[in-house]
Amino acid sequence: MGPFLVTDVLRMAAAAIRGLLEDPLSSQVWVVIFKFVPMVVFLELPYYAFVLAGVLKYAMERALLPWEEVQYHPSVSCIITCYSEGEDVKLTIRTLAHQIYPGRIQIIPVIDGALVNSHTHRAALEMMDQVMRAPNRELLVLPKWQRGGRVSSLNAGLSVARGEVVMALDGDTSFDNDMVSKAVRHFRDPNVAAVAGCLRVRNWRSSLAAALQGLEYMLAIGVSKTGLSQFNAVNNISGAFGIFRREVLNLIMGWDAGSAEDLDITMRIKNYFGRYRSVRILFDPEVIGHTDAPPTFRGFFKQRLRWDGDLFYIYVRKHLKSFSPSMMGWRNFITVTLGGLYFQIVVPLILLVYTAFSFITLPLGTVFRILLLVYLFYLGVTLVFYLLGLAFVSERPRDDLILGVLLPLFPVFTFASRLWSAAAVIWEMVARGHLDSSMAPWWVLRKGRF
């Protein structure tokens, strides 16, 4: 049955290509295209143009106004949330201890559930001598004996942090040795509230699933956030790699309970944008961290079930009142509504219904023609983003050039991810999936306000 289905699908795909070339003006195809084009022209293309304009603006500014070395070395506290990383936490601590940064760095690994995670606790303690030998470095291992979740770890670390700049980092993430110096330079501007770091997939060579995520991180984080940052419209400060001004964290009273704490704190900072127009959240593609992506498609979809369901929880259940120009300002109101609420929640649901309806009501040949046209459109969009990212954003062009061989597969990967996003949104709507998050034990999530 398996080989037959694959052969059948390939045959229909070939027939779709042949039919499209022979009869590009097929009435059935164009009826659907005319339904698809307004959504693309009036909603997606302007957003893509906005991001790409930002990338070009970044490239011009970097060429004309290169960074100047300034003697600005504020103290930095790095809160590392740890749960079951084991020996991997040593790499995170080591890359922070050996930063080429003359200022003081306080490294705070917070071991959640240290009673049962003695391996991670012991591994962090074993780094004490190595860190203390480095000048201006301090290691403070903070065990939380009972597990309380990621948010409680962040707030526990914040309570002992002494740095003017506070970094929220994952226990399995490593960093380039100039990360701190490139991150803190932005805080010379008193209007900068936070900086989103650029994450790359460390294990992209391990499997096809990891490599596709490597390309996704390059496009969705490296390129897209670079463009958005030029207009002060960064969509999210990654939970694995966020840098904050200490005064701002004190103002908003740290992290809030619940899942998706990274998007939550981004939205809470943006709630000040409408009243204080000069406040900014930046993204810097040169501030590099490295993380491992799920090496299998099963692991990928399991991860995205939580991530994408949490989007609905944050945008609709928790922050729906934030969708107001008076709260976020007009620019962020439009970009968050379009790039967040619409693209990440509404579009996957439309895509699911649209695809199911097409297979039910249209001949398979017509469906394949439509899917082929959609594929070609998004392949073109992906190619434009990739080439601009490779030319103007990438700081590892050799690696990203290799990832380019996956471009033909990427629209299919994105399509499958979007359909799965719809399933995650439905799961959150029906069963409140955020209450099953691995980010905190159930008794913590169920005692929260949401």
CATH 3.90.550.10 fits 72-303, yes or no: yes
Residue by residue, DSSP assigns 426-447 as HHHHHH-GGGG-TTS-HHHHTT
Rounded to 5°, angle at Cα 304 from 240 and 384: 80
How far is it between the farthest Cα atoms of the chain?
A: 74
Q: Measure the CA–CA gap between 198 and 180, rounded to whole angstroms.
A: 12
Q: What is the pLDDT of residue 286?
A: 95
> What would the pLDDT profile of 300-320 be if each residue is shown by its tens digit?
999 999 899 899 999 998 899
Domain range summary for the chain, segments of one domain joined by +: 12-62+331-445, 72-303
pLDDT digits (tens, 9 = 90+) for 133-191: 999 999 999 999 888 889 999 999 999 999 999 999 999 999 999 999 999 999 999 99
Buried b (16+ CB within 10 A) or exposed e, 276-310: eeebbbbbbbbbbbbbbbbbebeebbeebbbebbb
Mean pLDDT rounded to a whole number for the chain:
88
- The DSSP 8-state label assigned to residue 348 in this structure reads H
Of the pLDDT bands very low, low, confident and very high (cuts 50, 70, 90), residue 324 is very high
State the pLDDT at residue 4: 45
pLDDT at residue 3 above 50? Answer: no
Gyration radius of the chain's alpha carbons: 23
Read off the pLDDT of each residue in 115-135 and give the average, rounded to a whole number.
93
- pLDDT score recorded for residue 259: 77
Residue 80: phi, psi to the nearest 5? -110, 115
Judged against a pLDDT cut of 90, whether residue 353 lies above it is answered with no
What whole-number distance in Å separates Cα of residue 304 and Cα of residue 311? 10
- Least trusted range by pLDDT, from 79-83, 133-137, 151-155, 345-349: 345-349
Could you tell me the pLDDT band of residue 65, with boundaries at 50, 70 and 90? confident
What would the pLDDT profile of 242-281 be if each residue is shown by its tens digit?
999 999 999 999 998 777 899 999 999 999 999 999 999 9
Q: How far apart are alpha carbons 259 and 436 in whole angstroms? A: 9
- Rounded to whole angstroms, the Cα distance separating 197 from 179 reads 9
- Of residues 360 and 25, the one with the higher pLDDT is 360
Quick one: average pLDDT of 350-372? 82
Residue 63: per-residue pLDDT: 85
For residues 158 and 244, the answer to whether their CB atoms sit within 8 Å is no
Q: For position 448, what pLDDT does the model report?
A: 63
Q: Identify the band that residue 399 occupies on the pLDDT scale cut at 50, 70 and 90.
A: very high
Q: Can you tell me the distance from the alpha carbon of 282 to that of 388, in angstroms, rounded to the nearest whole number?
A: 20
Of 84-98, 159-173, 341-355, the one with minimum mean pLDDT is 341-355
Separation CA 200–CA 223 (nearest Å): 12
Give the least confident one: 96-105, 149-158, 344-353, 438-447: 438-447
pLDDT at 2: 46
pLDDT (tens digit per residue) in 383-395: 999 999 999 999 9
In terms of pLDDT, which residue wins out, 344 or 372?
344
Q: Per-residue pLDDT averaged across 234-240, rounded?
A: 93
Whether the Cβ atoms of residue 214 and residue 293 lie closer than 8 Å to each other = yes
> What DSSP assignment string belongs to 35-55?
HHHHHIIIIIHHHHHHHHHHH
Q: Where does the pLDDT of residue 359 fall: very low under 50, low under 70, confident under 90, or very high at 90 and above?
A: confident
* Confidence check: pLDDT of 223 > 90: yes
CA separation for the pair 179, 99 (Å, rounded): 7
Report pLDDT for 231.
96
- The reported pLDDT for the residue numbered 35 is 56
